[in-house]
Amino acid sequence: MEAWRTVEVAACEELEGPSEGELEAIRAARFSVEAVHEREAVTDHDVAAFVDVLATSAGEAGRWIHFGLTSSDVLDTALALQLRAASDQILAGAGELVALLVRRAREHAETVCVGRTHGVHAEPTSFGLKLAGFATEAARNRTRLHGAFAQASVGAISGAVGTHAAHSPDFEARVLARLGLKGEPVSTQVVARDRHAELLSAIALAGAGLERLATEIRHLQRTEVLEAAEPFRAGQKGSSAMPHKRNPIVSERICGIARLLRSYAQAGLEDVALWHERDISHSSVERVALPDATILLDYAQSLIVRVVDGLVVDPDRMRANLELTHGALYSQRALLALVDTGLGRDEAYRIVQRLSQRAWDEGVELRELLGAERLELDLDAIFDEGAFLRHVPELIARLDRL
């Protein structure tokens, strides 16, 4: 309602009719939420009730309040003010997350861990490189959010059905300039709702990015993996029944929030198609979806920042997990080395597959098994861990662009 008042006052300030004394009375006019609700019980119209209360507070000057405006002029322009204010906080949080992920990626650039595909050990990688991927995604989401908030923070003072019959486009431009807003080029009494759908979609994408990171942390914290874990505060309890438990509850909470954010994106898309110049089927949806989505994303960002900042990383466990398959992680390097000696790819593949499965199943080192085959191979080169990390500094350096 305070945003509504800001719009009403700005419109009055661009009218030709009010005297300076009347403008002072309009600027001084106030309302209470309780008074508006009491009046709405009579009018059954929220903006009309608000205008009645504000105009009464302004005395005789109140006749200029809402002069030539329709409810959507006030509602949509005030919504733009609210979205702009929300964007300041959300974009600050998005930027904080990017900076934090970049810092921790650099910190762990040389921390070697298992890379997994399908949940199964694949080849060694760098934990810093993992985090670098999340950092670049977070930066894309920051960019998407910035653009989505900017294009949705748009006002309109175009009157009933958007014809500017009561006030000219120039009047609209002057009012919006006072508010620091851009205008909808052609409104239909309302600002087009594809704008808000784009914003809710960007918020859902940002939530999905947080969920991807939170899911990774949940997997890494599993007892069988335990390579990284959420911070666990002194005095915290993981379970009411089992004192040993330390659960990834914050990451799980983020994953749940992401589900809600996706549902709001769907609701935003449903709001795009309105009847003719407008109806209000979008209104009840937005009054839940836009506040909830912005609040939830801001909250989820603060949660993931807490988790990433305090993330407990265990390089020794990462090293132990690298040994679980007894060198089978080097199978591609062995395959390529055999092909390089002149063997056909399929023949080389069959040899390495057979030996890798023996290493994995029988607990015998793949290097030992390859050596026993008396193949002309440089085993030191094949089992060189540094081969997997030689380009990591170059990839981590790309984070400077963020």
CB-based contacts of 313, cutoff 8 Å, min separation 6: 108, 111, 127, 227, 228
The secondary structure of the chain in percent helix, strand, coil, rounded to multiples of 5, reads 65, 5, 30
Q: Tell me how far apart the terminal alpha carbons of the chain are, to the nearest angstrom.
A: 38
Of the residues 168, 239, 284, 302, which is catalytic?
A: 239
CB-based contacts of 295, cutoff 8 Å, min separation 6: none
- Cα 35 from Cα 135, distance rounded (Å): 48
- Cα 258 from Cα 207, distance rounded (Å): 5
Asked about 118 being catalytic, the answer comes back as: yes
- Cα 250 from Cα 257, distance rounded (Å): 11
- Cα 214 from Cα 103, distance rounded (Å): 18
* Distances 343 to 25, 340, 347, 383 between C-alpha atoms, Å: 91, 7, 7, 20
Of the residues 118, 240, 244, 276, which is catalytic?
A: 118
- The count of C-alpha atoms lying within 13 angstroms of the C-alpha of 320, restricted to the half-sphere facing its C-beta, is 8
- Cα 94 from Cα 207, distance rounded (Å): 11
Q: DSSP assignment of 340-390, as one string?
A: HTT--HHHHHHHHHHHHHHHHHH---HHHHHHHTT----HHHHT-GGGGTT
Asked about 219 being catalytic, the answer comes back as: no
Instruction: Point out which residues pair with 183 in neighbouring strands.
Output: 155
Q: Which residues are catalytic?
A: 118, 239
